[in-house]
Amino acid sequence: MSDPQLLTLDDWYARLPETGKGLVMYSSEWGGLVTDPRLMQVPVEDHLVHRGDGVFETLLAEEGAVYNLEAHLQRLQRSAEYLGISVPLGLPNIGKHVLACFRHSERDRALARLLLGRGSGGFGVNPAECPEASLYIIVYPAPPPFMETHPDGAKIGFSQVPPKSGGLARVKTCNYIPNALMKLEATERGLDFVIGLDADGQVTESFTENLLAVDKQGILRYPNPTQLLQGTTLQRVCDLAQAQGLSLEQGPISRAELMEMPEIMMVGTTAYVSRVGELEGKALPPSRLQPRLSELLQQDIRGNAQRRSPWS
């Protein structure tokens, strides 16, 4: 087998795929944005790439506005502070860049991934190699809501993958190996989601979604935040439920307890509020609160001016 060809810049560009899933990308490396997928590149020497040293957020936009933008930016700031990464540009300017990217996507409904990396430096592990942090914003098509494609609800089970522990469990870092393994596990088992269990056998979260359940007394239950990432969507759903006079309780939920819950929901940016129809092969009865909570969230996404950041 011969050696690979040494490519010129023109050779390299000609070989890049002309289509991709990205619609718009901003990079602090260029100080601008592009809409050609061939230009949506990240420097390989960025520690975000070869060390997973960075944090991220995923944003939803519907009907010309980004939902819950401020909550996502604040969590990005907290995650960055935990890793000791300085946020470039400042949160207000990042918000403006996000809106500009959505505007240039010309999509009514889409997602954006904010990637905040340690920055370009060398190929070691030392953060000191990186003089300044990097910021990438990529807008891409949003999948249809989960319940539209799964009207009977989700099939879920318990994961064998050890969850993250300590402070890193509460930070949205770009090291998502446990999450990826959980998704792989779910796919191999023919499930939509798997739920993590900590060392004490308490329920944590899924790979990208939080869990919300209803016990036999009609109380909405969700796990302690000590071993999981507190979701922005889950927090908003809980606020909406409380405003409706529903009872909520945050605390430990064991595997055995969850198996006896009459209603379980998966909550997230792209899952919205999705019904669980089956847990470890056990069919759950028709949902009572999921339709109500789903409607409350949809109304909030589309009609709450305080939570919507329009780009036009």
Phi, psi of 75 (to 5 degrees): -70, -35
- Spatial separation of the C-alpha atoms in residues 112 and 61, rounded to whole Å: 8
User: Is residue 29 assigned to a domain?
Assistant: yes
Residue finishing a domain among 142, 163, 191? 142
User: Is residue 65 assigned to a domain?
Assistant: yes
Per-residue burial over 121-153, b if 16 or more Cβ lie within 10 Å, else e, is beeeeebeebeebbbbbbbbebeebbbeebeeb
Same domain, residue pair 236 and 251: yes
Q: How many CB atoms lie within 10 A of CB 32?
A: 9
Helices (H) and strands (E) in the chain, counts: 9, 15
- Spatial separation of the C-alpha atoms in residues 233 and 265, rounded to whole Å: 13
Mind listing the pLDDT tens digit for each residue in 7-61?
999 999 899 888 889 999 999 999 999 999 999 999 999 999 999 999 999 999 9
Same domain, residue pair 193 and 271: yes
User: Is residue 235 assigned to a domain?
Assistant: yes
> At residue 228, does pLDDT exceed 80?
no
Same domain, residue pair 77 and 160: no
Same domain, residue pair 155 and 138: no
User: Is residue 121 assigned to a domain?
Assistant: yes
User: Is residue 2 assigned to a domain?
Assistant: no
Same domain, residue pair 203 and 73: no
What pTM does this model have? 0.94
Token pair 């209803």 in the structure block, residue: 214
Same domain, residue pair 90 and 194: no
> At residue 170, does pLDDT exceed 90?
no
User: Is residue 290 assigned to a domain?
Assistant: yes
Burial class (CB in 10 A: 0-12, 13-18, 19+), 261: middle
Same domain, residue pair 151 and 276: yes
Residue finishing a domain among 111, 142, 173? 142
Same domain, residue pair 21 and 80: yes
Mind listing the pLDDT tens digit for each residue in 102-142?
999 999 999 999 999 999 999 999 999 999 999 999 999 99
Q: Which domain holds residue 32?
A: 9-142
Same domain, residue pair 121 and 14: yes
User: Is residue 151 assigned to a domain?
Assistant: yes
Q: What is the pLDDT of residue 105?
A: 96
DSSP for residue 227: G
Strand partners, 143: none
> What is the CATH number for 107?
3.30.470.10
**81 token code pair:** 């502070």
Same domain, residue pair 153 and 267: yes
Same domain, residue pair 272 and 176: yes
Q: What is the pLDDT of residue 216?
A: 94
> What is the CATH number for 190?
3.20.10.10
> At residue 166, does pLDDT exceed 90?
no
Specify the number of domains making up the chain: 2
Same domain, residue pair 89 and 41: yes
User: Is residue 307 assigned to a domain?
Assistant: no
- Distances, alpha carbon 72 to alpha carbons 110, 124, 242, in Å: 16, 30, 21
Confidence band of 160 (pLDDT split at 50, 70, 90): very high
Burial class (CB in 10 A: 0-12, 13-18, 19+), 101: buried
| Nearest in space to 218 (alpha carbons), one of 240, 241, 248, 244 | 248
Residue finishing a domain among 86, 110, 142? 142
